[in-house]
Structure 1
């Protein structure tokens, strides 16, 4: 039977490279988790940490005094049957022998012991791979282990939503975090699928154009190590191949990619297209004339969509003089700004399935141009899309809250769904996210644009 509970000898926490990460991963793994404190071990500090991080309800402290039988204390506090429980210990102690005799699984951290078949891990952070191995033995080949790589803030957000469970899910998946600072091969022996967010790990981007665009992007040492492993092990399932991400990182390549979308004829009644745009190396002539040719208003975006400090610096330009000394890094892509009634549709493709939701977005251009009380209208509005999106202002000068809004029913979900399938095949990716806006005023046909 699969592991449903893990009890960790508390002294092992001191061997963790990050107690915060370990406790979050344990507490929000959907496993029943406990920390065992025996005579002479003070639980106060760890209890305070659990409270500080909001984990005291999901990581239980099991404390035994000097005059108490440790195993009896555990049995009273532990709700999971022995065969589905793991005790992680640094050495052979009476507790190990007694728990093993009652059917518990034992994992040693640091060295082995008298339980010869017990797995041995070097550090407590390796616990999840060991638990996954036990679950593989219990569940067989139907259980798929997903090893994930992403920045800690993103992983933490997923953990809070219980989206990376170590407890096998109903569709036979279990998740472990890959530690890219350590050798990958031993970790990946138990992994069936690698799930990564390599764009979290971009170190630098060369602005010089090369014959192979992927060569412009330098990833962290950890991602480079993962790339080398995947190149040497081409049968490993990875979501998604890192080399296929490049067209989504360079807006110039994205623009080229979407050129054929309108010709794909995904609908007889709805046009799904990329926004009209031009690429400019600078905003002097003749490039200024090219930028103006797109019309007004326009939205100006840096060439790289992520991976650089200013990748999310953008500007909405309302008139020609707005291009003068515009504080957006060049080269850039100049796109038409499509009025969309403050509603953007977030589309997500996961395998064969397409999902979407509607979120509050930037208002129509006329509202933006007079934001902040300007009666004559701004020539341009510069902003960072990660920090603060421009918004309409109410009568008291306060911006509208960025909350979820309801769509107006004008979205042709079927047409955009077909466009999503076209995009997935074009890119050869499994997981993709993109934005769609619907023109706020339209004549006989809906007009949907990728944003």
Structure 2
């Protein structure tokens, strides 16, 4: 729901006119035919419930959990779904959009700040706010997010972990970071002993579409066409399935997605050049279990995923992220982490509304645990 223009609200017995300019009204829901509660995003009354005249509803005095959010328009559209907002309201949680035209210190009060922005000014603003308001939970700290915006540091944490569990082993594919002139890539690859085909990924994830453009290089000659800085990974056959593991605090959920098909290395001589991923895969599409081999379709053991998530939460300092995992084709218990994404598309995670709202309430247990019983 968006409100554009002037809107008169009632707070208690007083009338006050509020000017709203393309403000997203979140945390609002129609609880009945005659009841509408509104929280004005970015306003200095974000911690109060306002009532639209004529609704016949008295303003509530009980304070709720206020989550300030700073997200791109695309992320707002995918994450702030009506079902999430309605459930959050029932649990006493209201999402309030942060106004970038005003100092962060003048807004709130907030219990939690949820964000996914790469702007340097925003990072400094948030870090300054955290120093002034240590009682506010930041999801997640800017310094921690930076670790997964660089694919080198991202996967170094997994490589250092080298998790070996009774249910399997988790590592990373053999890889190489190249920051130099593209004409020297061939020599670097040969020196590192990487085998073809090779997955090429931009080194830095900066929120642009380009930072997610991946490609597959099949021969030495094609390497000079790549654009450093990049990360090169050996392609591991995995049966065309990637497991996307979503982490929200202590909650871990895995889904299956289509990925690149296996490559027959015996016939590599018949394939050359670079192929962009979008032409050969559709990561957004669910993997049809009926068309998969049993060993390929089987999810990684829950105990293994929970151990991995717990260790990465500790090492990365993050609570909202997902891990892309593949199983080496022909094995049952050998897994590789190929990517980590901060604050991914949680809308694709089963039951994300319940998982996310319960997670938010657990961040402020002493004051708001009573709301858990209301959902």
Contact 1:275 1:336 in 2 (8 A): yes
Q: Which residue of 2 aligns with 1:259?
A: 159
Runs of 4+ in 1 over 4 A off after TM superposition: 8-11, 132-137
Residues 219-266 of structure 1, C-alpha deviation per residue, up to 9 Å, x if partnerless?
2x444323321233233211111111111011121232222222x32x
- Alpha-carbon spacing, 1:315–1:10, altered in 2? closer, same or farther (3 Å): closer
Q: Which residue of 1 aligns with 2:21?
A: 17
Q: Which residue of 2 aligns with 1:192?
A: 111
- Alpha-carbon spacing, 1:128–1:259, altered in 2? closer, same or farther (3 Å): same
2:285 to 399, 402, 412: 402
1:182 to 85, 88, 102: 102
The residue matched to 1:168 in structure 2 has which SS? helix
Residues 290-323 of structure 1, C-alpha deviation per residue, up to 9 Å, x if partnerless?
35x1212210112112345632232212222231
Structure 2 unaligned spans of 5+: 9-17, 52-57, 290-295, 339-375
Q: Which residue of 1 aligns with 2:30?
A: 31
Residues 154-200 of structure 1, C-alpha deviation per residue, up to 9 Å, x if partnerless?
11222335324596233x322211112223233222x111111124x
Q: Which residue of 2 aligns with 1:79?
A: 34
Give the alignment's Cα RMSD to 1 decimal.
Answer: 3.6
Q: Which residue of 1 aligns with 2:330?
A: 441
List aligned pairs for 1:367-378, cutoff 5 A: 376-378=270-272
1:150 to 46, 71, 81: 71
- Alpha-carbon spacing, 1:400–1:276, altered in 2? closer, same or farther (3 Å): closer
- Alpha-carbon spacing, 1:437–1:11, altered in 2? closer, same or farther (3 Å): same
Residues 30-53 of structure 1, C-alpha deviation per residue, up to 9 Å, x if partnerless?
2359xxxxxxxxxxxxxxxxxxxx
Q: Which residue of 1 aligns with 2:220?
A: 320
Contact 2:123 2:142 in 1 (8 A): no
Shift of 1:147: 1.1
Structure 1 unaligned spans of 5+: 1-5, 34-77, 89-106, 108-122, 203-218, 392-398
- Alpha-carbon spacing, 1:355–1:248, altered in 2? closer, same or farther (3 Å): same
Shift of 1:128: 7.0
Contact 1:344 1:360 in 2 (8 A): yes
Shift of 1:425: 0.9
Q: Which residue of 1 aligns with 2:199?
A: 299
Q: Which residue of 1 aligns with 2:190?
A: 289
- Partners of 1:237 and 1:274 in 2: how far apart? 32
- Partners of 2:74 and 2:30 in 1: how far apart? 21
Q: Which residue of 2 aligns with 1:390?
A: 280
Q: Radius of gyration: which is bigger?
A: 1
- Alpha-carbon spacing, 1:299–1:126, altered in 2? closer, same or farther (3 Å): same
Q: Which residue of 1 aligns with 2:81?
A: 160
- Partners of 1:9 and 1:178 in 2: how far apart? 17
1:138 to 61, 77, 91: 61
Shift of 1:124: 8.3
Between stretches 308-317 and 9-18, larger displacement belongs to 9-18
Higher relative contact order (CA 8 A, sep 6+): 2
Q: Which residue of 2 aligns with 1:247?
A: 147
Higher strand fraction (1 or 2):
2
Q: Which residue of 2 aligns with 1:358?
A: 256
Contact 2:44 2:107 in 1 (8 A): no
- Partners of 2:201 and 2:28 in 1: how far apart? 39
1:279 paired with 2:196, answer no
Shift of 1:389: 5.4
The residue matched to 1:162 in structure 2 has which SS? helix
TM, length-normalised to structure 2: 0.71
Contact 1:282 1:288 in 2 (8 A): no
Count the aligned residue pairs: 312
- Partners of 1:184 and 1:149 in 2: how far apart? 11
2:274 to 380, 388, 393: 380
Q: Which residue of 1 aligns with 2:365?
A: none
Q: Which residue of 1 aligns with 2:43?
A: 126
TM, length-normalised to structure 1: 0.60
Q: Which residue of 1 aligns with 2:357?
A: none
Shift of 1:426: 0.8
